[in-house]
Amino acid sequence: MIERKTITTREEWLAWRKEDVTASQVGALFNCHAYVTPLRLYAEKCGTEFIVEDNLAMRRGRWLEPAVAKAVEEVRPDWKLEQATEYLRDPDLRMGATPDFYIHGDPRGLGVLQAKSVAPSVYAREWNDGKEVPLWIILQAVQEGMLAGADFVVVAALLVDAHNMDVAIHDLGARNPLAEAKIKDAIKKFWDDVERGIEPEPDYAKDANVVKAMWRAERAKDAEVDLSGNNRIPELLNMREILKREIKDAEAQVDAIDTEIKFEMKDAAIATGIEGWRVTYKTSFVKEYTVKAREQRVLRVTDQRDKD
């Protein structure tokens, strides 16, 4: 049985989402999500709190969602779009979704529309100029269609260009039972892993904030961990020392180059006659700012090896 909960407040909706793997997160289980890693999803569902501050990209998505629907209705006048105002969940699988719009008027029956607003450069790079929809977005739309009991699913991308606005409609067609089964299996395995305490492997290039959030404080002031049996850590420390030295040398070279350029420019604000480059050396005003006091863990590494 699918539960349908009418969304009345954002706070209530966010609380519901915490209990489920939502359509906007499911791509993490297939390691293809643009923003959510498997470890982040695991940590979140295990109770780790992540501070998500509103940003320009999030606001753009909210502001332009109605514009996506308007553009789609103009391109497809046979469709009537209805904004979805409900949270859908399968309580047994702990799987949820918040569709953007329902599509009425299509002979295939009820459709679900996932609305995206995308910069043309991102569309060219991540959507292969419209030749393919990113997999994590496909999975999102498939899960929404499954929970909504829809007959077909659609993804619409509003190309946000001030001088050349357009909308691309990607009709994914009828529901795919095989894809839906894979999503269900992945979600079931995920909750089994959570229950058994089996963490996903971290992506160290993407999970820096996740690792910090999972262990914001040490368990005791002088708590220790014995890493004597870990052969990987000495290799990492040695590599870290080499890289830090290379970074320091590179920064020193950049500083020297900058100083030479400044010397050549002297009291000029703009350098001309350099094909392919724009170079300026202007006075700018730096506003005063303060940083709020806070506690945070700091990693410090000291090389105590014999230097002889």
pLDDT at 307: 65
> Token pair for residue 147?
């929970």
Q: Domains of the chain: which residue ranges?
A: 3-211
Q: In the CATH scheme, what architecture does the domain 3-211 have?
A: Alpha-Beta Complex (3.90)
DSSP SS3 for 228:
coil
Question: 176-220 pLDDT, tens per residue?
Answer: 999 999 999 999 999 999 999 999 999 999 999 999 999 988 999
Please give the Cα distance from 16 to 87 (Å, whole number): 8
- Predicted TM-score (pTM) of this structure: 0.85
Rg (CA), the chain: 25
Please give the Cα distance from 304 to 308 (Å, whole number): 12
Sign of the alpha-carbon dihedral angle for 223, 228, 230, 232: positive
Other CB atoms within 10 Å distance of the CB of residue 174: 14
Contact 2, 20 (CB under 8 A): no
From first to last of the 308 residues of the chain, give the pLDDT tens digit. Answer: 899 999 999 999 999 999 999 999 999 999 999 999 999 999 999 999 987 776 777 777 788 899 999 999 999 999 999 999 999 999 999 999 999 999 999 999 999 999 999 999 999 999 999 999 999 999 999 999 999 999 999 999 999 987 888 999 999 999 999 999 999 999 999 999 999 999 999 999 999 999 999 998 899 989 999 999 999 999 999 999 999 999 999 999 999 999 999 999 999 999 999 999 999 999 988 888 888 888 887 777 777 787 66
> In degrees, to the nearest 5, what angle opens at C-alpha 249 toward C-alphas 247 and 253?
115
pLDDT at 308: 60
Q: b vs e for 268-295, b when ≥16 Cβ sit within 10 Å of the residue's Cβ?
A: eeeeeeeeeeeeeeeeeeeeeeeeeeee
Backbone angles phi, psi at 25, to 5 degrees: -110, -20
pLDDT at 163: 83
DSSP annotation of 172: E
Among 95, 117, 118, smallest CA distance to 45 is for 95
